[in-house]
Each structure stands twice: as C-alpha cells, then as structure tokens.
C-alpha cells in the first residue's frame, strides 16, 4: 500500500522531523519570508555529531547545529519534474514508482529512500531509527508501596548432558583372608583360603613363596593344593595391587607328619596293621626311615585278592648273600627286589615276589612288596586281633586270639602265607595263619600272598 504526501507537516515528533531533514539534506539556501510559516518555510536544526534533527519553532538553532529551512518556495526552475512527493508503503519502492527528487518511507522497517535519481533510480535506504537516548530522571513516585511480585515463569527445558569426565584413580586395595593359619598333615589336601576385598578393585596378587605341592592364583589370590613336604609353621605374604597402591596379609601354614593308628587307612589305600614305638630302617636300600606298615586292601577300588603262588621261579639256586635272609621289620622291600632280580628271563608274573611288586593299590603307589618274616608275623597278629605291646614284640609268634577277629582284618584265609625271607637253597619262610606258627617249606609251594608297604 502506498500513500502520496504532497505537503509538509508541522508535527514536531523526532522521526517525522528526521524524515524532513533527510528530504532536504544538503539544502543550504535560505528561504525568504517569515520563518515557520507556509510562505516563509520551516526551520529545522541538524546536529552533525549526533544526527539528531529538531524543529525548535524559533528563528535560531542551538549552537553547533546546522540550520535548514524547509517548505519555502524557491525560484521556479525549467523542464523539471515535480520531485516534491513523499511516498509511504509496507515494502521497499519499485523502480517505476515516483519521479526524480521524490522520497519513500517503508513504514514497516522504518527505512527512508531518496531522493530518487534521474538515472539510477532509488538509492539504498537509510534507517530512520536513531540511537537510543540516555535514560531520563525518574519521576516522583506516587507514594504508594511496591506491588506484589508477579508469578514465576515456567521452567525452561533441560539442557543437554555435558561430556563425561575422566575416570579418577581407584581407591587403594584392601582385603582380608578367610583363614590366617592352617595346619595340615603331609600329602593331605589343604583348604587354603579365600580373599575378601574390602577396598578398591584389585588387579593382581602375588605371594612371597608357594608351599611345595600347592599352587597360587595370581588373579584371585587363592592358595590351594596338597602340601608334599613336612614343614614347621611358615609365613607366606600375599600382596594385592592396583593402580593406586598395594596391601598385604600373612598366611601361616604348618605341615606335619601324619599320625596313624592300627586299622586306619594308610597313604597307599591299605589298612595300617603295625605302628612302631621307634622308627625303623626301610625302603629299597634301607636308607629311609618308617614308622608304619600297611596291608593291601581286599575291599573297594583296586582291591587285592589273596591267592596261592610259588615263592620264585628259581627253586634250586640260593640267593644266599644276605639280601633275602633278612627277617626284621622294614627289610621285606630289599628281600623282594632280590627275588625279582633272580627270576629266570626276567619273569614278572606268577611268582610271590613279582606279583607283590606289581601291585599298585588304590592310590597307584609303586613300593608294595612281599613282607619279611618279622613283618608277616606282625600282620598275622593283627588279623588274629592281637594288639598292644604284643604287636611290637617280634619275638612273640602269632599265637592266641581268634583268626579274622581283628578290625579290618577281613579277607585273610585260614592258610599259609609266604614271607620274602629265604631259609635255604630250596626253602623259604612261611607262616600258618591258622595257628600262627612259622615254618620252612619248598619254594615251589603255592602259598598265599598279601602285599604290604612301609611308610
């Protein structure tokens, strides 16, 4: 929408006077007649520093302002178009609008265009909005009290989550042990201990040393396994670590010699039938020390069945160098090895000595052998229920009691059993488990065999 204004208003408002000032910007001719009249023109004052235009309604301008007279009739020109029209609209002027010298105001954006040029048309617009003036002094109050505060506005939407911060250092490690000390017998599984963390996450564990036969888990800190070496109370230090530091606890392990009684199960899975008051020499070379004898079990896994076998495959040649003529407790291993070594062609089956050495028992031990004369006598006493001091008296023959009455003695037969003790070229020592007497019979006789071992 366009409006054509062909007159000048005497309105003293700032925006309108500014428009008028810009319309005649650059005009310096002084109109004739009385100022501030239609015939004499209207005086406006332009401050060149602040660009503020004023219409004082007087004949003079403030000091420093430029004086302009608008609206006075000038000298008539020739061949000129009117050029005295002020146009308004809600959009910028088009090129076909108006005559050279006309002005245009966009009433929406408050932009002034003009004067229109004969050749180039409308120039770029100039904003009519001046700079913000200084705040005036506050007027006198009405004396009333301040009104109540208005209601709070609605909360704005939540902002986006900020980036995650970098991870801090973990807390220092700390832990406790489910057990700080343990005593186990040698070759008996130890329960070890479990770790309970009470501090920062633990990344690894180490132990000062690992007991023989046991293992240590560096991830969980658990000590487990079966100790294989007798040892007095020994302290082991367990250390837990993470990026911040470390902590430690001490575990004490004692490994003792097992204590067995007659009738208990031995390390080989057999039944203990002899407990010495003092240790005795034992082993393949009599260099070891033992305190117990156990007999092959006749019940359960890897059980033994008593049966008759010849003493050895060589019945005409004596071993006779003392290796097979030993009678004491603990010497049966040496006797049996000599019997096996004499077997013709290395025969390892069907003979009392070789069949006893081939036995392994429930726990797969390889040190079983044919008992010596003294060891066979102690086994005879056990199977007849003769216990106490008599059991340790080698001079006492297996007499008295009742056959097969002893606890754990079941499985023996009422027959003769071979010892590993050679008596002469053709004879070896045997014992009658019916009456307990010992005697010498031909090596080819098929007497019964029960393997034993010392530990």
For residue 195, which of 187, 186, 205 has the smallest C-alpha distance?
A: 205
Residue 244 exposed, middle or buried by CB count within 10 Å (0-12, 13-18, 19+)? middle
Q: Cα separation of 391 and 385, whole Å?
A: 10
- Whose CA is closest to 348, among 306, 305, 304, 313? 313
Q: In 3D, which of 134, 151, 85 has the Cα closest to residue 113?
A: 85
- The set of residues, in sequence order, having a beta carbon less than 8 Å from that of 160 and lying 6+ positions away, is none
pTM across the whole model: 0.50
Sign for the CA dihedral angle at 173, 175, 181, 185 comes to negative
Q: What gap in Å lies between CA 357 and CA 370, rounded to an integer?
A: 7
CB 314 within 8 A of CB 345: no
Nearest to 362 by CA among 300, 285, 284, 431: 300
The reported pLDDT for the residue numbered 401 is 53
3-state SS class at 253: strand
How many other C-beta atoms lie within 10 A of the C-beta of residue 362? 15
Predicted local distance difference test score (pLDDT) of residue 316: 77
**Helix (H/G/I), strand (E/B), else coil: 248:** strand
- Give pLDDT, residue 5: 46
Pairing assessment for the beta strands 246-256 and 181-185 based on DSSP bridges: parallel
Q: What is the pLDDT of residue 134?
A: 79
Question: So what's the pLDDT on residue 395?
Answer: 53
Taking CA 420 as the corner, what is the angle to CA 419 and CA 424, rounded to the nearest 5 degrees?
100
Task: Say if CB 443 and CB 310 are below 8 A apart.
Answer: yes
Tokens of 340: 């096996």
Per-residue pLDDT, 209 = 95
| SS3 at position 310 | strand
User: What pLDDT is stored for residue 345 in this prediction?
Assistant: 58
What distance in Å separates the CA atoms of residue 258 and residue 267, rounded to the nearest whole number?
10
The predicted pLDDT at position 430 comes to 95
All structural domains of the chain, each given as residue ranges with its CATH number in brackets, are: 1-129 (no CATH), 175-256 (2.60.40.10), 271-454 (no CATH)
In the chain (455 residues long), the average pLDDT of successive 10-residue segments reads 44 38 38 58 74 73 76 42 79 92 90 91 87 70 65 86 81 92 86 87 95 93 90 94 94 89 91 92 95 89 87 78 78 93 65 93 95 94 68 60 46 88 92 88 94 97
CA distances from 449 to 120, 371, 417 (A): 137, 9, 6
Q: Does residue 276 contact residue 270 with C-beta atoms inside 8 Å?
A: no
> For residue 408, what pLDDT is reported?
40
How far is it, in rounded angstroms, from Cα 448 to Cα 212?
40
Please report the beta strands in 23-85, taking only residues with DSSP state E, as ranges in sequence order.
42-46, 53-54, 66-70
d(Cα 394, Cα 389) in Å, to the nearest integer?
A: 10
Contact (Cβ atoms closer than 8 angstroms) between residue 83 and residue 114:
no
Alpha-carbon 13 to chain mean position: 80
Adjacent-strand bridge partners of 231: 255
> What is the Cα–Cα distance from 253 to 236, expressed in whole angstroms?
8
Residue 60: predicted pLDDT: 82
> What's the confidence (pLDDT) of residue 252?
93
SS3 assignment, position 69: strand
């Amino acid at each position: 929408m366009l409006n054509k204004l062909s007159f000048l208003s005497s309105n003293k408002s700032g925006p309108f006077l500014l428009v008028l000032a810009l319309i005649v910007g650059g005009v310096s001719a002084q109109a004739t007649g009385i100022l501030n009249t239609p015939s004499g023109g209207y005086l406006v004052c332009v401050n060149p520093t602040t660009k503020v235009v004023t219409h004082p309604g007087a004949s003079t301008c403030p000091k420093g302002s430029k004086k302009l007279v608008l609206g006075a009739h000038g000298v008539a020109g020739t061949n000129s178009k009117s050029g005295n029209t002020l146009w308004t609209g809600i959009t910028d002027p088009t090129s076909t609008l108006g005559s050279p010298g006309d002005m245009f105001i966009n009433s929406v954006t408050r932009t002034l265009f003009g004067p229109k040029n004969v050749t180039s048309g409308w120039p770029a617009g100039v904003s009519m909005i001046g700079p913000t003036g200084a705040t005036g002094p506050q007027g006198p109050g009405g004396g009333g009290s301040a009104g109540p505060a208005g209601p709070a506005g609605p909360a704005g939407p939540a902002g986006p989550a900020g980036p995650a911060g970098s991870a801090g250092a973990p807390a220092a490690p700390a832990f406790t042990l489910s057990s700080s000390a343990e005593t186990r017998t040698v070759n008996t599984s130890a329960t070890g201990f479990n770790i309970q963390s009470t501090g920062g996450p633990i990344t690894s564990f180490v132990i000062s040393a690992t007991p023989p036969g046991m293992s240590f888990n560096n991830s969980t800190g658990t000590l487990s396994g079966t100790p294989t070496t007798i040892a007095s109370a020994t302290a082991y230090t367990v250390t837990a670590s993470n990026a911040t530091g470390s902590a430690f606890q001490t575990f004490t392990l004692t490994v003792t010699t097992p204590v067995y009684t007659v009738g208990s199960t031995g390390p080989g899975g057999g039944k203990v039938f002899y407990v010495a008051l003092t240790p005795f020499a034992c082993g393949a070379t009599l260099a070891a020390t033992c305190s117990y004898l156990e007999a092959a079990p006749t019940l359960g896994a890897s059980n033994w069945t008593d049966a008759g076998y010849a003493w050895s495959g060589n019945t005409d040649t004596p071993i006779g160098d003392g290796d097979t003529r030993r009678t004491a407790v603990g010497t049966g291993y040496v006797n049996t090895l000599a019997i096996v070594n004499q077997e013709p062609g290395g025969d390892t089956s069907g003979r009392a000595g070789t069949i006893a050495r081939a036995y392994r028992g429930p726990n797969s031990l390889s040190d079983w052998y044919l008992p010596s004369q003294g060891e066979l006598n102690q086994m005879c006493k056990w199977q007849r229920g003769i216990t106490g001091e008599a059991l340790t008296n080698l001079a006492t023959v297996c007499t008295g009691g009742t056959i097969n009455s002893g606890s754990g003695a079941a499985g023996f037969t009422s027959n003769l059993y071979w010892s590993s003790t050679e008596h002469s070229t053709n004879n070896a020592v045997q014992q009658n488990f019916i009456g307990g007497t010992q005697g010498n019979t031909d090596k080819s006789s098929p007497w019964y065999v029960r393997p034993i071992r010392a530990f």
